[in-house]
Amino acid sequence: MPDVGEGLTEAEILKWYVQPGDTVTDGQVVCEVETAKAAVELPIPFDGTVHELRFPEGTTVDVGEVIISVNVGGGAAPAAPAASVPAGAAAEAPAPAAAPAATAEAEQAAEGRQPVLVGYGVAASSTKRRARKGAVVPGQASAAIQGELNGHGGTATATAARPLAKPPVRKLAKDLGVDLATVVPTGPDGIITREDVHKAATPAPAPVAQVPAPAPAVQVPAPAQATASDARETRVPIKGVRKATAAAMVGSAFTAPHVTEFVTFDITRTMKLVEELKSDKDMAGLRVNPLLLIAKAVLVAIKRNPEINAAWDEAAQEIVLKHYVNLGIAAATPRGLIVPNIKDAHAQTLPELSRSLSELVATAREGKTTPAAMQGGTFTITNVGVFGVDTGTPILNPGESAILAVGAIKLQPWVHKGKVKPRQVTTLALSFDHRLVDGELGSKFLADVAAILEQPKRLITWA
């Protein structure tokens, strides 16, 4: 099991695309795994015949564990596979109880075997690998939530019988107990859609949980799959994004002393500017919405109050001031809440920021956000207003000093130029780490964001 993210320690095997006895080629996707941050398709780094799948689907495996072995000699596979040295590892991986504890390089050569899929590539002593055939091995930018439909940044060669479906659709099919091979696709180019899966699941009888013998625990169906008509409870395993989010939020809430401040103000002028920019030729073809100008206002306010863009280093007992802004945008996806960030957002023009926001949101919805895109954030915006919520008290993204919640924008009676008039009003909530952001700094920053959005010409005068 390779480290498909940055420092991740485990991953769940979602789907095997091969079985023992199948022939595989260099670069062919053999399985899909889900980490706390991403669902990733793993390619095999050599040609051969699958000898053994070490773990069944649904098993959570530690990084570094042997998950598949392949016979590359062209002959029959040995009765019991020997342990193989993972690429770059210092020790040999353990073999099953019936197998020898270790193997020598001579034994591997005699059997025609190469190291198993642990990391990206074979050991230095193995034979030279040939060039890829239409596939790219995922590196740091493995999918977070996923790579392309059949690979990462390229077109991986999948097994011939593998149905075409996007990662969220595959996850839905797994939750509903639907075999994608039996689903009739209606999407473009024969792609299976969510509706196709739901249609296939509708007439199906209530499933009976069947777990392979080696599996550590019975898999519990997701909420969408009722186990009985009179069921009063459904239990769902805590794993993947939900598990990572829970751990991060608990750690953040009980490590950083949170303080939240609120400001309610008239955002009418910004909403008018949004409409004007939609017809501006410099913004042609770009998505213009209130979040774009709110993000720009945050970047200007950070420039005026740079200490808000910092981190607390407990080990070194230092405050780390960031002279760049990797702007995180909280996004709800089929796999849960994630926070990808726009790298060096402070250096982007408004059209560039618009393009970055559009790509970030589209990538997250399609389940293709990479782990690297969620690393290194310095400040986060969460837009709870899209759900009709006035405001909230957001919890800090770990490693950051502040997070801004944007509430719903509503038409309300407001005193404007001495008269009560209907104006568009919203509420912002700023949570910050009180260890390094005091009340004065937090208040000044929040007031600056509101002032810019009340009078958006300050985007020019204060920039």
Query: Cβ–Cβ contacts within 10 Å for residue 29, how many?
Result: 24
Give the strand pairing for 327-329 and 379-383: parallel
Burial 430-458 (b: 16+ CB within 10 A, else e): bbbbeebbeeebbbebbbbbbbbbeebeb
Distance CA 59, CA 218 (A): 10
Length of the chain (residues): 463
Give the strand pairing for 191-192 and 164-165: parallel
Given 198, 258, 346, 434, which residue is catalytic?
Answer: 434
Q: How far apart are the two ends of the chain, measured CA to CA in Å? A: 47
Reply yes or no on whether 198 is catalytic. no
Distance CA 139, CA 119 (A): 10
Query: Cβ–Cβ contacts within 10 Å for residue 287, how many?
Result: 15
39 phi, psi to nearest 5 deg: -105, 125
Rg of the chain over CA atoms, in angstroms? Answer: 26
99, 105, 106, 112 alpha-carbon torsion, rounded to 10°: 80
The set of catalytic residues is: 434
